[in-house]
Amino acid sequence: MLLALAATPEDIEVLLISVTYGNVDVQNCLRNVVSMFHIIEQEIQWRNDRGLPIGFESLRRSKPLVAIGADCPLEDTTRMADYFHGTDGLGGIHDTHKHLTPPETWKGLFMQPPPETDVTSTARSKIKDDLSSPTSLFTPSFRPSHLEILRILEENPPDTVSVIAIGPLTNVALAASHSPRTLMRAKSILVMGGAVSVPGNMTPTAEFNTYADATAAARVYALTSPTPSSTMPPPPPPLSQTASRKETLAEPLPPYPSKDELGDRRLNVLLFPLDITTQHELRRDEFETKTGALIAKGSPLAEWTNAFLSSTFDKMDTLHHGHEGGSASLSLHDPLCVWYALTGEKDSSKWSIKEGEDLRVETAGQWTRGTYIVDRRDRKRLENDDGEDVPGDTGGWLSSTKGNRLGICMQTPGERVLAPLMLETIFA
């Protein structure tokens, strides 16, 4: 997110930050987003006071909305990765570096205000005075984030707005269910998720974002299919009288309209799976080289990022071989999607994208939930078939009218290009 906000307006305009659960619960994710803006504002002031290049041109040109989305998956128990990222998602920074955390009063920013009266007007003025810092760089929304996604797509011409999805796809799936034809106006849905031909990071075969809400991923990817019903996940089993859905949405989402009702347009989804993201790393020594002098000079942003990334580097040192000391490294999973949005959508000549892949998501397997399934058989594809299953091909994998049609990023401008670019862009 910092990479996008620090870019130039010519490269990107961030219209909305759609918050969902992920590595931690949605409220902690929201606090981290608010904290980021709090720190950026301090950093801008620090740079300005010293006559340094201010940076964050895209953010200063256009203030984004921040909207709260889903706090649980569509149909399964919430899974988180707080064992790795800490209970607050930033390695415990809100306890260890309380001076870098905004006042708790920020929570009121996302509460629907009561009707205007003399009393509420006076109270609101006081709150505004107390919260001037957290709100100056973003606008809080009172609407669910999936409705904000749809509103933005409705208000802009088709193929001009992309969605960068770097968490579970629950918010995108809710938008798709509410208005699939509106979501399909997006230029692209850039998804950090899945493991195609490499091991997963949550199970032996599943990556975290897809695993966290496999049903949401399956529903979103189905909108790339010539026949979306062919890859929709099966409905969940009925609940017993003693069961509850307190950790999931109240009711399963309905099927999509028929393919004729949807029209000819389909969703353009481009995947950035672990196969490509894991290869792009940020080493501890290069990060500390860039930020060390800035911390000594008092940079709030350098201190903040060092506080939570040091915790993550330490965790890598603890869990994995070959990550001792300065050689500890982090894979730049999420930044890779942003990097493509900044460069690849304008000029894809240095990127390699494999188009039209029929990749499906397992949603019901005991051991394979969230696994990407591809057809590795050496079978001839059918042409101009009627969509009926043929012997030996249950599920229509060989059909020209069934299955998903996803793009997969296979190659970038360089594995060692992203980390220096990101550090230089963020820290000016």
pLDDT per residue over 3-14, tens digit each? 898 998 889 999
Round to whole Å and give the CA distance between 78 and 61: 37
Note every long-range contact of 361-364, with CB atoms under 8 Å and residues 24 or more positions apart, other chains counting: 361/194, 361/210, 361/214, 361/217, 361/218, 361/221, 361/233, 362/214, 363/75, 363/214, 363/215, 363/218, 363/233, 363/234, 364/233, 364/234
Position 85 scores a pLDDT of 66
Note every long-range contact of 240-249, with CB atoms under 8 Å and residues 24 or more positions apart, other chains counting: 247/72, 247/77, 247/78, 248/72, 248/73, 248/74, 248/75, 248/76, 248/77, 248/78, 249/70, 249/72, 249/73, 249/74, 249/75
3-state secondary structure of 67: strand
The dihedral through the CA atoms of 20, 26, 32, 38 has a sign that is: positive
Position 209 scores a pLDDT of 96
Nearest to 209 by CA among 323, 113, 80, 116: 80
Residues of the chain with pLDDT under 70: 84-85, 113-135, 237-250, 322
Which residues lie closer than 8 Å to 260 by C-beta, 6 or more apart? none
- pTM for the full predicted model: 0.91
259 contacts 224 by C-beta, under 8 angstroms = no
Nearest to 65 by CA among 179, 123, 144, 6: 144
Position 164 scores a pLDDT of 98
Round to whole Å and give the CA distance between 62 and 157: 18
Position 122 scores a pLDDT of 55
Please report which helix (H) or strand (E) contains residue 409, including its range. Answer: strand 406-411
The dihedral through the CA atoms of 284, 24, 148, 370 has a sign that is: positive
